[in-house]
Structure formats: C-alpha cells, structure tokens
Amino acid sequence: MRRRLAGPGLLAGGAEGRGTQGGGRAVDLTTPRHVPPGQTETEGEADGGSDTAARRLGDGVGRPRVRHRSLRGATAEPHGARRTRRRDLCDRAGEPGPRGGPRSGRGAAFLARRAHPHRAGAAGETGLVLGGRVHPRRSATPGEGLAGDRRARWVRILVLQHSSGKTPEGAERPRPTGTSADVHHPHQGERSVTAHETAGSPSPLDVASDTVSDPVNGAPAELRWPGAVVVGGGVTALLTAVELEARGVPVLVIERDSLCSGQTGKCHGWLHRGAVFLDAPPEDIDQLDRGARRWDRLISRTAARDAVVTCEVVGVKDETRDGIVGTWERLGLGRVPAEAVGAGPCRWRLTGPETAIRPLDVLREILERSTVALRSGHVLRLDPDRTGTTATSVLVRAGQRNVRVRGDSFVFANGEGIPGIFLDADVSARIARRQSFMLVVRSAAVGDRGLLIPEQEASHLFAVPRGRATDTSRHLLVSDFISYAPSTDISHARSAWLAGIRPTLRRFLPDLWNDDDALWGVYPAVKVEPLRDVALGISPMAVLPTPYRNVLVAVPGKLTLAPLLAERLADTVVPHIRSGGRGGRSHPEAGVSLDDLPAAPWGPEEWEVTPLVRRETLFPEDVTS
C-alpha cells in the first residue's frame, strides 16, 4: 500500500499538470481516478507501476526534487524498498494504516512540530487537490465550490518542501494570489512569513480566510502608504517614527495593543550613565551617556516635568563609590560629592546625575504634536516580492477586517512579536529573552527620588517612584538584576524571585517593609535583548539582518540607547523611500483609507493595572501563627 502525498512543492506544476522526478516517467495530475465505494485511493496501489504522488512534481522542466520534512530520507530510498518505506511513512505520520486503523508515532509529533500553517495547512489535515493546487478543507468543504468538480481529489496533506527552494531558469514562478485559501508555495522569494499561533486564537491563515474585508473576491482590502511602516508601539518604534518624520518621511505606526504598554510599559525608566555597569568597557559607558544626553534633549521639548525623577545611588563599599565618581567625572558630568549616611546598612550616597523617566508621558506629548499616524492592528505576515529580496506589504488584522498595508520600507521594533513574524529568517536566533519581575508598592512612605544600590549585597536593587509629588500615597517600582529563562509556567520563577528579594527589602528598605498600610503587587516583565556572548555588562542595541533590503529589525537592549537606535534606523530607511505621494492615500479600488483603521490608544503602564494586596498575601512566609 502506498500513500498519496500532497504539498505546496509537490503540486506547483503548470497547466499541463505533468512532471518527472529523476528518471521517472511523467504522470498526469488532472485526470480523474475512479475510486470504488468503501476503498480509499491509497488501497490497491502497491504495484510498482502506479503513478504515486511522490512522482507528481509539476511542469516537466526539471523542477527540483522534493523531500519530506519529517522523514528526510524518504525520497532517497532504493526503488525496490518503496512498499515498506511508504507503509512506515504513513504509520509514522499518524495516517491510517494498511488495515484502516489510526496509527501514530514519533513521526506524527515531529511532523506537527515542523509543519507551518502558511505552507499547506496543518499536518494530517484534509485538503482538496484540483488543478495542481491543494485547497485546505476549511476553505472548500464537500458539496461546495471546488469539491463539486469531478476532477477534485481529497487527500491527506503532508507538508513537503523543495530541497533547493529554487525554480529552474525559464520556468514560470507560481504567484501567490493573496487569498489565504490558496497555498503559499515555499519558493525563495514567494513564501509568506506568518505570525505564531497563540493559544485560543485562530491561525493567520484562518483569520485571513474567514474574516476578510472584501466580500466580493475574498481578498484583504489594501492601503498604500507612501513612506515607512513601523511595527510596534514601544519606545524604539515611536522614537524611530519621530526621527523619520523629522527627515520628511510619512510614517505609519501599527501597534497590536496599546502604545507604551509592552516592554516599555513594564520598565522602571532608569536612564543609565554607567553607575551600575562598572564592569563594562569605556566605549559602552560612552554610548550610554550619549543615549542619556539624547533623552535630555527630547525631554527639553516637552512640559512633562513630572516624568523626570531625580535618583540617588547609595552603597556600602568605598571602591564602588570611587568607581562611580570617576566614571561620571570622565564623562564630563562634574565631580559629584559623596554624602555620608549616618544610619542603615549603606555608608554613602551620591545624588545625580542619573535620572529616571516615565516614557509614556514624554513620548505621548511628542507624538501628539506630530503628523505620525498611530493605528491599532495585529501584523500577521510580511509579504515579499517575486525576487524575495524586497518586502512589499504586511497583512494586518485591524478590528474585524484584514488590510494589506503596502509601504516603501518596514521597521519591526515589536519586541516579543519579532520571532513570530520572521519564522524562516535568522532573526529569532539573534534575540535573547529574560524573565524578570517588578514589585509594585503603594505606600505613604514612598518618597520623590529613585534609588539604586549597585552592589551584590543588594542584587543591584532599583526603586523608582511613580505618581505626582503631591499624591498622599505614591507607587514604587522595585526590581533587581535577578532574571530567569522564560517559560509558559512562571509560577516557580515568581516564587523564587519573591523569596530572593524579600531579605533585600527588609535590610535596605525597612520603612517600606514595615508600613502596615502598604499594598503590594508583582508583575512579570520579559526583556527582549540582542543575543550576546557574555551575560555581564551592557546589552547592546542591534539592527538584526533580514532577507529583505527594505526591512529592518531593531532591538534596543536598554531604554537609554533607544534614541541612538532610532537615529540609526531612520538613516537606513530614508534611501528606500520613494518620492511623491501623500500619507494615507489608499488604492482607489480597495475601499479603505487610513481613517478606516482604528486609532491606537495610549497605555496604561503595567503598574497601573497590577492588583495590590497586603504584604502577608504576597509574602506568606511572614504570616505568624
């Protein structure tokens, strides 16, 4: 018994529907086959002369051979061993066995992991073969449309892929129609890159096929943006938009949730100038100082005075104090005198020149005075042109409709969403993720200054106030340098982090710890940073390489470096912007304009929506019997 295999690489032939594999004979893909009642097409095909699906390779112009993604040696077996091999293939892929019983094995799990929804549907999904193309069952059910054609054949989809990924010279490349029900062929330059499926949500293929905005042809509506499209609503994305606008480039920002509510909305906002990174090389410290000075210029353009917090650096060891004072003096920040601390575990205090900010307040005031278009939408996919070297559009889920947004250049600064877009690119391998946590404390004991203890005894403790100085009770964000590997279950990491910071709070923040009226909360904060060889020191900013000349992927590493990264991105984007056109001018036939996309809201930051409880609830070990 042999099994028919179907996949985008297998069924990408021309109109004749004929092809060869190696020295095999040409076969016909479109001729209907009679299948007796009660018998599947796979039964009775064990003879060596059958035209198996493994030979149905396309247009007969020397197309590259195919290989099964989960069983790489399947097509390399000797000709005489195909009967046993194909039976084993069906068994391992979770297909019905020779007696009709369902089977599963390691191959099924492996196939499910390797199959991507944008290639030919999920592994094991029923599909309809017609005219050399696989149509997933969800877009063509029996008795409807394609299924009514007598040439159609139902097959079980197993994902295959061209081993070379190229089309022979002279052969016409298959063109994606843009309709999600069509199979996106995995040729180089023609593949579509999709977002990860999230638990409880439909895949991008489902979204595109079931909730399209054009009721006539089923294709997404189209918006042509004559400028740069920035994906993400954090500090890097918004500052990049500001820099591009200053260079005369129309900018469209697309944010999935709320502006400054992701990684930016979970940070403490400290603008480092080297006090906590004493082990970093001088060039990294100089880069931090340049970033902090750029922030100073941005803040000077706003009236958000409450967004800036004066910070103190305190410590125990004299060598730590001398190192910080020397660093600030070398940077031209002046000689900062140290104050002696009379009581408590710390011996000295340095006030200034490091500060902390609330990024949302600063960025909102700057963007409200700009012409940058801020829109809400979930970017599902990045689509390249036929050459595979230039991106042409992104598919966006905006409210209840899908919109294909075309632009001259694309900047992805969407943090955790980056690996989900660039599945097939060497991007996710260059990004590191750290699981950290942030305490939120509301108390009358919270002052108006930030606090940093850059020593191992305090695990490099940070404490930054939020709220106005006139508030009776203010919020304090508290964190340290302890982080964990991200996972789906963070309960153990959360418990370990709370147990570790508890003695630090009792020792260095006794007034806050002993406040009986204080309310406490904690939220997780995943930090996305460029991958680095050494974990210590400063995480650098990075522009990651992509397969497309007009697509940039940005990871700032530190909030302080975001303005410098935005300048670099803007300088790189400008050469790709074509002249002419006005922002928001959509295709005349698309029926969608910029006003049809929902506006992106601002905030809130994570500390504003974190539930607060009594200290004994968050730290149950403090409950006395």
Instruction: Tell me: pLDDT of 600 over 60.
Output: yes
Structure tokens at 73: 């040696």
Q: How confident is the model at residue 307 (pLDDT cuts 50, 70, 90)?
A: confident
Least confident of 74-88, 322-336, 558-572: 74-88
Asked if the model's pLDDT at residue 490 lies above 50, the reply is yes
CA distance 1 to 296: 73
Q: Give the C-alpha distances (Å, rounded to integers) separating 366 from 232, 240, 359, 482, 556.
A: 17, 12, 11, 33, 20
C-alpha 591/C-alpha 196 separation (Å) is 29
339 φ/ψ angles, rounded to the nearest 5 degrees:
-105, 140
465-499 burial, b if ≥16 CB within 10 A, otherwise e? bbbeeeeeebbbbbbbebbbebeeeeeebbeebbe
pLDDT exceeds cutoff 80 at 508: yes
- The yes-or-no verdict on residue 295 having pLDDT over 70 is yes
Q: How many CB atoms lie within 10 A of CB 347?
A: 16
Backbone angles phi, psi at 522, to 5 degrees: -145, 140
pLDDT 10s digits, 541-555 = 889 889 999 999 999
Q: State how far the alpha carbon of 550 is from the alpha carbons of 36, 119, 255, 437, in Å.
A: 54, 24, 20, 36
Least confident window among 126-130, 424-428, 609-613: 126-130
Task: Tell me the C-alpha distance between 327 and 274, whole Å.
Answer: 7
**How many angstroms separate the CA atoms of 613 and 301, rounded?**
38
**What pLDDT, on a 0 to 100 scale, did the predictor assign at position 350?**
93
103-111's contacts with Cβ under 8 Å and 24+ in sequence apart are 107/70, 107/71, 110/70, 111/69, 111/70, 111/158, 111/159
Lowest mean pLDDT among 77-86, 453-462, 611-620: 77-86
Rounded distance between C-alpha atoms, residue 557 and residue 560, angstroms: 9
Residue 113 has pLDDT above 50, yes or no: no
In whole angstroms, what is the distance from residue 288 CA to residue 355 CA?
13
Average of per-residue pLDDT across 363-379: 95
Smallest CA-to-CA distance from 213 within 600, 601, 596 is with 596
Confidence of residue 419 (pLDDT cuts 50, 70, 90): confident
Beta strands in 489-576 (DSSP E): 519-530, 542-544, 551-555
Place 278 in a pLDDT band, splitting at 50, 70 and 90: confident
Helices (H), ranges, 200-250: 204-210, 235-246
CB–CB of 452/311 below 8 Å?
A: yes
In this prediction, residue 122 has a pLDDT band, given cuts at 50, 70 and 90, of very low
Two tokens, residue 548: 């497309």
Q: What percent of the chain has pLDDT over 90?
A: 43
CA dihedral sign, ordered 198, 398, 602, 241: positive
- pLDDT for res 46: 40
Percent of the chain whose predicted confidence (pLDDT) is above 70: 61
Mean pLDDT for the stretch of residues 586-606: 76
Would you say residue 568 has pLDDT above 90?
yes
Judge contact between 235 and 257, C-beta under 8 A.
no
The pLDDT score that the predictor gives to residue 534 is 63
In the structure, what pLDDT confidence band is assigned to residue 579 with cuts at 50, 70 and 90? low
Q: Which CATH fold would you assign to the domain 264-275+288-360+431-533+605-622? A: D-Amino Acid Oxidase; Chain A, domain 2 (3.30.9)
pLDDT at 297 over 90: yes
> According to the model, what pLDDT value does residue 556 have?
87
Per-residue pLDDT band for 329 (boundaries 50, 70, 90) equals very high
Q: How confident is the model at residue 37 (pLDDT cuts 50, 70, 90)?
A: low
**Most confident stretch, 54-58, 98-102, 118-122, 514-518:** 514-518
Q: Could you tell me the pLDDT band of residue 102, with boundaries at 50, 70 and 90?
A: very low
What mean pLDDT, rounded, does the chain reach?
72
What is the spatial distance between Cα 553 and Cα 414, in angstroms, rounded to a whole number?
Answer: 9
pTM for the model: 0.66
What is the pLDDT confidence band of residue 422, given thresholds at 50, 70 and 90? confident
Of the two residues 488 and 410, the one the predictor is more confident about is 410
pLDDT at 518 over 90: yes
Taking 80 as the threshold, does the pLDDT of residue 177 lie above it?
no
Q: How far apart are the C-alpha atoms of 451 and 460, rounded to whole Å?
A: 10
pLDDT of amino acid 623: 56
Q: Where in the chain is the domain with CATH 3.30.9.10?
A: 264-275+288-360+431-533+605-622
| Band of residue 622 on the pLDDT scale cut at 50, 70, 90 | low
Of 552, 584, 572, the C-alpha closest to 243 is: 572
